[in-house]
Homo-oligomer: A and B are copies of this chain.
Amino acid sequence: MLTKKHLIIGAMLHGAGGNMASWKHPSGPADASVNISHYRELVEKAEEAKIDFVFVADGLAINKDVLPHFLNRFEPLTILSALASVTSHIGLVGTLSTSYTQPFTVARQFGSLDLISGGRAGWNVVTSPSTGAAHNHSQASFPNHALRYEIAEEHVEVVKGLWDSYEDDAFLYDRENDTYFDPNKMHAIHHQGKHFQVEGPLNIQRSPQGQTVVFQAGSSDAGRDLAAKTADAVFTGHKDLEAALAFYQDVKNRAKEHGRNPDDIAILPGIGPIIGETEEEVEGKYAALRNGVSIHTALNYLGRYFDHYDFSVHALDEAFPDIGEVGSEAFKSTTDLIKADAKKHGKTLRQVALEATTPRSEFSGTPEHVANEIERWFHAGALDGIIFGSPLLNDGLHLFIEKVLPILQEKGIAQTDYAGSTLRENLGLPFKQNRHTKTISKAGV
């Protein structure tokens, strides 16, 4: 458990929602993913509800056959910077890949967002396992899983080093003594690594939270290890409570093995419930989504997790085919889960494909059910908080704020006000000390 006693709550902001038929539902605007008024309205509502942060996911290539509204969406750094101007407390977390960026650029852009927002920025580190992404960035293919994580680890190390370029009292702005800054408190990093060579220093000071909060979203072995070594928060996802508990313990243990305080890393599973006043209403919303997806589209969507494998060559109503390790590099932990689940329950290809497009979340249900499930997971020790998404994002987030949150607040689980003004304060994470700053003992020499 973190120093924060309440449940951490983040809210996904990614247009209409993560389901390919999300945009068709009348509960929100069809152009939600590029509608700036819609984004402003949601973030203002989330801040009013004291939600800790909003989270903007990303993609570096389109697949026109699935998730059409992801063809057309805001870039994370720019939309979060725009939202910084209309908010004052809510955290602003965005996804950015380590595979196609320069650490210096990433350090600057998040550093700048962090300063503009008064210490509310978060970076969700991803490694972009997609052929389409590679082809948009002058690469023939994406690096293999191990290499991607090797690059990611070095990238994050460089970015964090750059973020400590200036100690917090480096800038003096002393006009009388002609001293803008203290050069002894400026530190180049002189990084000469395998993948990056970066001299530094960065050209921006630290923010009120010290460093931008680092999220990590990979759940594979390498992903967990990277998270345990370097992340402040982990964005994850689980089939059931048992898996969530195991993941939570595993990452906290790995953090300890890396010499870290396990309280300094927040485990935040994403949950994607559909919320309704009754079970019938919930089922009606699921039906509206599933009816919007053809089997052709569903197979394409499933294939996306397997590096665009063509499942249409297999029989739809026979057992899920054994395709070996095909494409499993891309979303390894997800594809392992899909395969294991299909085998365990004897599912057909059709079932697997349809469930992949619109899986039923065990969090779905009435507001009471949603609140009780969250409470159950929280008290079981499976999470430090949640990142709320929904296949019907506008509908879901409004219902979560209006109906679920008051129950969680009444239970004493959710906060009723922000703990502070920076994202670290609101997540219950300590201010990030600058590695170069020596603590001065008050007792003297």
Once the chains bind, are A59 and B203 in contact (CB under 8 Å)?
yes
Q: Does A180 contact B (CB under 8 A)?
A: yes
Q: Which residues of B contact A321 (CB under 8 A)?
A: none
Once the chains bind, are B180 and A69 in contact (CB under 8 Å)?
yes
Given A105-B101, A138-B196, A197-B135, do A71 and B203 touch, yes or no (CB 8 Å)? yes
Once the chains bind, are B181 and A72 in contact (CB under 8 Å)?
yes
Once the chains bind, are B108 and A75 in contact (CB under 8 Å)?
yes
Q: Which residues of B contact A36 (CB under 8 A)?
A: 115-116
Q: Which residues of B contact A201 (CB under 8 A)?
A: 62, 71
- B-contact 0/1 string along A161-195, CB 8 Å cutoff: 00000100001010100101101001000000001
Q: Please count how many residues in chain A sit with their CB below 8 Å of the partner chain's CB atoms.
A: 69
Shortest beta-carbon distance from A183 to chain B in Å? 6
Once the chains bind, are B181 and A74 in contact (CB under 8 Å)?
no
Shortest beta-carbon distance from A65 to chain B in Å? 9
Q: Can you identify 12 A-B contacts, CB atoms within 8 angstroms?
A: A34-B115, A71-B180, A71-B181, A72-B171, A72-B203, A72-B204, A73-B204, A77-B77, A77-B78, A104-B136, A135-B197, A138-B195
- B-contact 0/1 string along A345-381, CB 8 Å cutoff: 0000000000000000000000000000000000000
Q: Which residues of B contact A40 (CB under 8 A)?
A: 85
Complex Cα distance A77/B74, Å? 13
Q: Does A329 contact B (CB under 8 A)?
A: no
Stretch at the interface among A24-32, A223-231, A310-318, A330-338: A24-32
Give the residue name and chain of the B residue nearest to A171 (CB).
B72
Complex Cα distance A74/B202, Å? 11
Once the chains bind, are A75 and B24 in contact (CB under 8 Å)?
no
Q: Does A205 contact B (CB under 8 A)?
A: yes
Given A85-B82, A181-B68, do A31 and B171 touch, yes or no (CB 8 Å)? yes
Shortest beta-carbon distance from A110 to chain B in Å? 9
